[in-house]
Structure 1
Amino acid sequence: MAMKPPRRLMDLRVDATPPGNMNRPPVGEVDDTIQSYDAACDEVDHGVSASVGLTLLAAVMWVSVIGGERIPGLGSLRGASCIVLALLSVYWWHYRRWHVSLMTMVIVGAVGLVSGAAAWQEVVVIDGPCSGNAIVRTDPTWVGNGVGVVLQLRGKRYRVIAHGAPGAHLANRLAGEHVIVKGTCAKTTGPYSRYDRIVHVVGRMTVQSVSEEFSEGSMAIRAANRMRVALHEGVASMPYNLQTLFAGLVIGDDRDQSREMVNQFRASGLSHLCAVSGQNVAYLLAALSPLLRRLRRNSRFIAVLLVLAWFVLLTRAEPSVLRAAVMAGLVAMNAASGNSMNARTILASTVIVLLLIDPMLAWSVGFALSVGATAGLAWLSARLGQIMGHHGMLAATLAAQVGTMPVSFFVFGYVPVISLIANPLALWVAGMVMMVGLPLALLASLLTPLVPLVSWAMAIPVAWVAGVARFCAGASPHGRLNVGLWLCVAGAIWHRWQQTEA
């Protein structure tokens, strides 16, 4: 989920990242996902009406996609409904009619219903012996004594837990690689079948054999996988528990984190740091800004899109990074064309686009948390910042927590108030790791004598983040005390707001 980077880092971003209008002063050219949050509340007339209208459309789309699950017969109409929506969008854009009419909302709702119904249509799955060239769709993880992975065979995804020799062969593979498998396939059943469908897994496979030979996949897949391996090699001298956290902070790879660490980050409200999203994208673009600013506007726009596509591939296209990448792409597109859209409008547009592409995101907890946090930043952070004075980091943390609160409470039943302390303590340090960790680790993997030095240098901030999570998790109040403290926070903000209005 996206969070604001430290203010001093934002002030250092100059020139266009993503690309901006060459006729504007340099400070105005700095335009990325995080900065668009600040611009969100600057526009009042045209901007607010467009933001509210598109936000309503996004909400209608989301709710109707979820409702489409109950009407499976509508799935066959998805293509026609998307064409109607596309024509309506062209008409709307051409005439600049930002007012959202009832007809528009009805059409968007209909498209959402059809898309949701299509997503849950019955899928024909192999039931019996199956074999062939399979694509590894997820990085392998250890599940007890076996290796868990998702394989794609003949266009369908199957969940696999392999033991023995097949498990050993799969354990060495990475997402995107190809192997020859032989086994038995069946439709997914049981309590986790619904979750599997949400992540596009339609069956399970009992693997009997896996080839030792494998294909590394496309050039882009090979490059991404080699970079992930190099990232781990660059900090090989770091203590193992810190290595796993470093990988989570930089590329969202939290597979090897201990259950204790996962629980500590969740209890302290810092679990979002290991979910790659807008924060990572903003730091990546900020780190590349010295190179991007040298390009012409159109070339810079293309370069930004390529960087975003590469980063999505590197981080395994998690829902949160998809949201962040599409938002950053829309910001870059508008800056390159000289148009202006605030973060609220861009977020709503992103939600609509992604739900059209993959309706299953409507049921993704990660996607909902990412959108909620970004919505909190876009709609509340500026106002909370005005109320709270100079406490910008705390205001951003509170805005993000408010945005994610409904989903967090519904899914986890708990929203830790300690996060208001943990985030300001850890966020700026985690941001530094995100910005410099990737290039330093890659450099160390090329110049191996640097591995101990880079590992030591990165271990210090990573250990700080881990320590904050551990301390705040231990100090986190629960039950009525946690609720009472949230009420105190709300009361303090209300009192402060009354003072600013007086």
Structure 2
Amino acid sequence: MISLSGQRVGSGRRRLHADSWAVTLAVAAFVGAMHPLPVPVWVAASALVATMVVARPLPLILGVTMLSCSLASQAVAGSHPLPHGQFNGIVQLATDPTVEHGRVTAEVRTEMGRLQLSAESSMARALVSGAAGDRFVADGGIRELRYAMPWRHLRGVLEVRSVSSALDPTAAVAFVNKVRSVIATGARVLPSALRPIQLGFVIGDDRGTSPVVRYDFEKAGLAHLMVVSGENLGFLLILARPVLRGAGLRRRFMYCAALLMVFMAITRFEPSVLRASAMAAVLAITILSGRPASSLRVLSLAVVGVVLLDPLIVHSIGFRLSVAATAGIVLLARRLAGILPLPRSVGLALAVPVSAQIGVAPIALFLFGPPSLLAIPANVAAAPAAAFIMMWGSTVGVLAGFVPDLPASLLFWPDRIALEWVTGVASVAAENRIGPFVGAAAVALVVMIGIRAIRRRSERWMLLLFALVVFLPLVVQARTLIGAGEAGCFDVARARICQSSGGDHLVVASVGGDADVTALLSRLDSRGIDRIDLLIRTSSSASARRAIAELSERLDVRRLVSFEDISGTERASAQSLRVGTIAVTIRPSRDRLEVSMIDGFDGPR
């Protein structure tokens, strides 16, 4: 029997049946990795081979679950925390070094396993200029991690006392780092504020991004743009198409595999990159075998492959969000575009971010709260420019790495305009300047979809999902505004915040040089705080001054007290201030201010 679309109904049912089993297989692998069991790997692998011989879905699912449990148990055992002790040996950088608050941090591979390296920047100058894959001889001590991060396979912290000169890198490492260096060299002509954004779009290296810009992208729902994913890989495959087209099927598969390995190495094997690369590999295998598969089946099999290769990745929030967003797009984007009362191209441009939001909603609601309502229009406005930045940086940006500054500046002129546009969209959306207009447009759009959905009963469930994504942020935003006066003192992002219990809703904050400005802004925003009546800088360090300047970009700071403001005899004794119902006591010490806050109606905090 043949349907009106020209497809055999039986084949459609078989495809749906195969997709359902593939999704079940992915869920089984995920659940198995979440619950490790000490089953010998050879036993689990033998059971899986036996189930593949039987060629029945249910035994295969049980075999994958058993193997996933076994591999996860082995990975957990390999990540067991190390005892305190001394270290002297060769370390290989697993991530690019980051300099923050006067310290160099990076993840390193050692003979003891993977460790979190930490060192004073003055003691580890050789590390600052290093890159992932470089090797050094380090001397220091090992201590326990403060926070467990199982998906990183970290066994402890290596506090480095000294680092010798770098050892010669392997040819593969030298090639990968040379490619990244050329791309980074091309971006040298961009302003310092835009350069890390450019590199984040192209190779996922967003080190040096301003905390304020990072906060804007997160609040606007655009943080995913600074993470390399399937879009970058798809464009790379398009560039390689002339070479791939002229090769045979098997040789084409080998070229694709080599390209995927280079791409993953350049982008540092991030979770979203692994997911996209695994999907590309599964797709290539299905084409090579002559058995094309649906997008949902490709995603499911890719998840199975990635989880079996690295079972602990199931604990990575980035991997979960990447899979969930892709699943939302695969399942909902085309259907939602079909019921939107808009031209097909415009409807699809709107349907993709909405579908991604629906996909990540179960995870995002639990971890971060509902996404901003402005995330949908912000994504629609920023996506074309983001795609241009990625394509331009991957092609013309590489050429700019080989030419002098003047021609490189001319080459990057269109790219700079696109970067300014994306950051502008993020800033406008983060500051919620167009919130009321977007809310009214969203309500009108839902009403229009509702009218259309009434005529198409099969699509009413789509209307429900779309309405949830649109209206839930409105409800949460209203609750945030209503609860903006909630009193209390709390510690967040290595800063202290106190909100008065009086009717004036006054706010006092003490911030030092180690404060996480991005997290602090997000927490204040979740409580509806956009003004600080008294901001105390507890340190005289440059990082503390920078943190205050960054906070002042997004908050209305009424009064600032710093270490330098307390002079002469005042340093010998405590100084008391009163902000509404909040009593603040400042005790100067040798290099910082000790601050305590007491709310008049709420008691000491």
Q: Does 1:48 align with 2:16?
A: yes
2:531 aligned partner: none
TM-score (norm 2): 0.69
SS at match of 2:371: coil
The one-letter code matched in structure 1 to 2:385 is V
The within-5 A match list for 1:146-295 is: 146-186=103-143, 188-190=144-146, 192=147, 194-195=148-149, 197-216=150-169, 218-295=170-247
Identify if the C-alpha distance between structure 1 residues 490 and 203 changes in structure 2 by more than 3 Å, giving closer, same or farther. Answer: farther
SS at match of 1:235: helix
SS at match of 2:193: helix
Deviation at 1:490, TM superposition (A): 6.4
2:323 aligned partner: 371
2:299 equivalent among 343, 347, 352 = 347
2:48 equivalent among 82, 85, 90 = 85
Unaligned runs of 5+ in 1: 1-38, 69-73
SS at match of 1:215: coil
Identify if the C-alpha distance between structure 1 residues 374 and 224 changes in structure 2 by more than 3 Å, giving closer, same or farther. Answer: same
- The total of aligned residue pairs comes to 444
Contact 1:269/1:416 (CA < 8 Å) preserved in 2? yes
4+ long deviations beyond 6 Å = 480-491
Contact 1:417/1:477 (CA < 8 Å) preserved in 2? no
1:7 aligned partner: none
Contact 1:184/1:206 (CA < 8 Å) preserved in 2? yes
Question: C-alpha distance in 1, partners of 2:354/2:182?
Answer: 36
The within-5 A match list for 1:94-105 is: 100-101=57-58, 103-105=59-61
Comparing 488-497 with 348-357, greater Cα deviation is found at 488-497
Contact 2:93/2:108 (CA < 8 Å) preserved in 1? yes
Identify if the C-alpha distance between structure 1 residues 501 and 374 changes in structure 2 by more than 3 Å, giving closer, same or farther. Answer: same
The one-letter code matched in structure 1 to 2:363 is V
Question: C-alpha distance in 1, partners of 2:22/2:127?
Answer: 45
1:125 aligned partner: 82
1:59 aligned partner: 27
Contact 2:126/2:166 (CA < 8 Å) preserved in 1? no
Question: C-alpha distance in 2, partners of 1:127/1:416?
Answer: 44
2:455 aligned partner: 499
Identify if the C-alpha distance between structure 1 residues 468 and 299 changes in structure 2 by more than 3 Å, giving closer, same or farther. Answer: same
Contact 2:104/2:127 (CA < 8 Å) preserved in 1? yes
2:521 aligned partner: none
Identify if the C-alpha distance between structure 1 residues 90 and 356 changes in structure 2 by more than 3 Å, giving closer, same or farther. Answer: farther
SS at match of 1:339: coil
TM-score (norm 1): 0.82
Deviation at 1:115, TM superposition (A): 3.2
Question: C-alpha distance in 2, partners of 1:361/1:473?
Answer: 31
Comparing 466-475 with 123-132, greater Cα deviation is found at 123-132
The one-letter code matched in structure 2 to 1:465 is V
SS at match of 1:183: strand
Contact 2:96/2:132 (CA < 8 Å) preserved in 1? yes
SS at match of 1:241: coil
1:404 equivalent among 348, 353, 360 = 360
Give deviations 1:196-235, integer Å, cap 9, x for gaps. x32011111111110123322x222111111111111112
Deviation at 1:373, TM superposition (A): 0.9
Question: C-alpha distance in 2, partners of 1:315/1:130?
Answer: 30
SS at match of 1:372: helix
Question: C-alpha distance in 2, partners of 1:460/1:407?
Answer: 34
Question: C-alpha distance in 2, partners of 1:206/1:59?
Answer: 39
2:497 aligned partner: none
| Structure holding more strand per residue | 2
Question: C-alpha distance in 1, partners of 2:163/2:67?
Answer: 42
Larger radius of gyration: 2
Identify if the C-alpha distance between structure 1 residues 221 and 117 changes in structure 2 by more than 3 Å, giving closer, same or farther. Answer: same
The one-letter code matched in structure 1 to 2:17 is S
Unaligned runs of 5+ in 2: 1-6, 459-605
1:467 aligned partner: 424
Question: C-alpha distance in 2, partners of 1:232/1:76?
Answer: 46
Question: C-alpha distance in 2, partners of 1:477/1:360?
Answer: 41
Question: C-alpha distance in 2, partners of 1:486/1:62?
Answer: 36
Deviation at 1:60, TM superposition (A): 2.4
Give the CA RMSD over aligned residues: 2.7
Deviation at 1:433, TM superposition (A): 1.6
